[in-house]
Amino acid sequence: MAPVIHALEKLGVDFNYVLTGQHHDYNMLHMFVEELRLPVPFASFQLSSSKPASEIGEIMVRLEPILEQVDTRILLIQGDTNSMLASALTAIKVGLPVEHVEAGLRSYDWRMPEEHNRRMVDHVSDVLFAPTERARQNLVEEHVYGRTLVTGNTVVDAVLEYMPYALKSSSIMDSISFPQFCLATFHRAENVDSPQTLADLVDALLQIEYPVVFPVHPRTNARLQEFGLYSKLSASRMVQLLQPAGYFDTLVLLKNCDFVMTDSGGLQEEVTVPTIRKPVIVLRSATERPEAVENGFAQLVGVDKNKIVDRAKQLISKGSDLPDHSPFGDGQTSDRIARFILDELQTTDSKK
């Protein structure tokens, strides 16, 4: 949402933004605000619970008086997190229209909490900013209530906007032990909460026989320790374990790696941006970003370690031929969204 905030600022559209507290590292969250050159948030709060249902309920209780405190005309939300579901439900109950950035993504994998969230949010939104034609078609087929527009994805805008800053300010490459490497990340519950699946992913990293840089998500770290797998990785000369990487460090790692292995949705989009342009092995059986697969950037391999190793070795030996443009946008998405909002507000004012 940072590029959207900047686009609204350029057009002179008044707005307030709220940090809902779903990111439980409060200090890191505010570091991101400074790093992404965002204004001071109108409100922010810390949550007392990390359980999904309690988290959603608490966000709703905390957000309602904030929305009623100012003359809010539109609630703009992005993505598929618990924060987005809680915010959308709160807006409905206080009579505010909801506009959803990154609408229409579908994995058709009901094990994913994000799939629950995005489906519910899309069906209560008044305006849906779909990143691709495929996403728009998903919404048409589901007969959503709101108006749908294809805009591209703000992730592309963010990479293009912040990569120059990241290259200047990040020193992450000074600590990387390898001149060439694969960047690996995995954190999804269905992957790391299963001892067998996590053991297979660890074995895959070791068996590709190629340097791996692995920023370890807190959830993944806890499970690696719990299942006795952490020492297996830390003992390998071919795997470098890192603390969780911030956004700028992640951008620099993506730019400098040879390929990516991940279960992240966002990374599947970021690798397609021309300033990164890297192949990605997706450690999932389904993706809500099929455009990355169709355009040759991503390959779904699931969590079968033999398939992961085979695909990694193919990339190592043969490389990949990738398009020079992203299927997720041209970097102008945020401007389109901001101009739509401005026109909408001006039209509403003229009718009063």
Question: Which residues are part of the catalytic machinery?
Answer: 187
- Show the CA angle centred on residue 276, arms to residues 19 and 37, nearest 5°: 30
Question: What's CA 113's distance to the chain center, in Å?
Answer: 14
71, two tokens: 């003359």
Question: What's CA 88's distance to the chain center, in Å?
Answer: 18
- Show the CA angle centred on residue 289, arms to residues 7 and 132, nearest 5°: 50
The DSSP call for residue 278 is -
Q: How many residues does the chain have?
A: 352
Residue type, 8: L
Cβ contacts of residue 293 below 8 Å, gap of 6+?
A: 282, 287, 299, 300
Residue 145 CA to residue 232 CA, distance in Å, equals 51
- The tally of CA atoms less than 13 A away on the side-chain side of residue 256 is 24
Residue type, 95: G
For tokens 């450690």, name the residue.
Answer: 283
Q: Which residues of the chain form beta strands (DSSP E)?
A: 18-19, 43-44, 75-78, 98-101, 127-130, 147-150, 182-185, 212-215, 239-242, 259-262, 280-282, 298-300
Residue type, 49: S
